[in-house]
Amino acid sequence: MALKALEPLADQLAHSRAIQTDDYFPGVWQTNTVDGVLYAVPWYVDTRLLFYRRDLLKAAGFDTPAQTWSGWLAQLKAIKKMVGPQRYAVLVPLNEFEPLQILALEQSEPMLRDDGRYGNFRSDSFRRALAFYRELFAQSLAPTMTNTQIANVWNEMGKGFFSFYISGPWNIGEFKRRLPPELQNSWMTAPMPGPTDPAYQTPVAQAW
């Protein structure tokens, strides 16, 4: 835009039947504008969700994924107890920032402060999210591994190396293609659980 190499899209947008601004979240739409002028149309937003082995969750005594952190932690502990020391309840690769980011975004305080100029990482909200994230490793619910150490997440989830995996919607098609037919009914997706139960939030905050 600074080099005047991009064409404003207002005229094309006004005559487009395919692009409707109401179909887009305001935040992602605004990242394509400069000084109120539209120069691009959003193509991709990286939304994450839970992939899980519903058969293993059922075997651990739960019918559906939890909706709260405390409920999810109880499920992860039950799965870990069931699968033993060589397998895990959830895969959270150490070199992926998105899981921690999601936990922080679920909190009441923003991740950025001072008009978005600085990270708000000393806030109680971020410390609470970081404390929960840390517990996944401290209690051996997640392996201390990077995504480069998991050669094939689909096979490993199919083998039960982990039962929960945080990923994007593109993996819905991958799990359908890569898992064998006999495992197609064994997995499902769910929204990320949130810290909606105050009884859990207070102890985590005090841990810091």
Cβ(64)–Cβ(190) below 8 Å: yes
Q: Is pLDDT of 207 > 70?
A: no
pTM score over 0.95: no
Q: Which residues contact 10 (CB under 8 A, 6 or more apart)?
A: 37, 38
**CATH 3.40.190.10 segments of the chain:** 49-206
Q: Which bin fits 164, alpha (ψ -120 to 50), beta or left (φ > 0)?
A: beta
Cβ(73)–Cβ(147) below 8 Å: no
Cβ(133)–Cβ(99) below 8 Å: yes
Cβ(92)–Cβ(133) below 8 Å: yes
What are 33-67's pLDDT values in tens digits?
A: 999 999 999 887 778 999 999 999 999 999 999 99
Instruction: Please tell me the predicted confidence (pLDDT) of residue 11.
Output: 94
Q: Is 70 helix (H, G, I), strand (E, B) or coil?
A: helix
- Give the chain's length: 208
Q: How confident is the model at residue 203 (pLDDT cuts 50, 70, 90)?
A: very low
Fold (topology level) of 49-206: D-Maltodextrin-Binding Protein; domain 2 (3.40.190)
Per-residue burial over 115-150, b = 16 or more CB atoms within 10 Å of its CB, e = otherwise? eeeeebeebebbbbbbbbbebbeeeebbbeeeeeeb
Q: Is pLDDT of 138 > 70?
A: yes
Burial class (CB within 10 angstroms; exposed 0-12, middle 13-18, buried 19+) of 29: middle
Q: Is pLDDT of 105 > 70?
A: yes
Average pLDDT of 103-126? 93
Instruction: Please tell me the predicted confidence (pLDDT) of residue 43.
Output: 85
Cβ(187)–Cβ(63) below 8 Å: no
Dump the DSSP string for 94-127.
TT--HHHHHHHHTSSS-SEETTTTEE-TTSHHHH
Cβ(207)–Cβ(131) below 8 Å: yes
Q: Is pLDDT of 150 > 90?
A: yes
Lookup: tokens for 136: 């996944």
The amino acid that residue 43 corresponds to is W
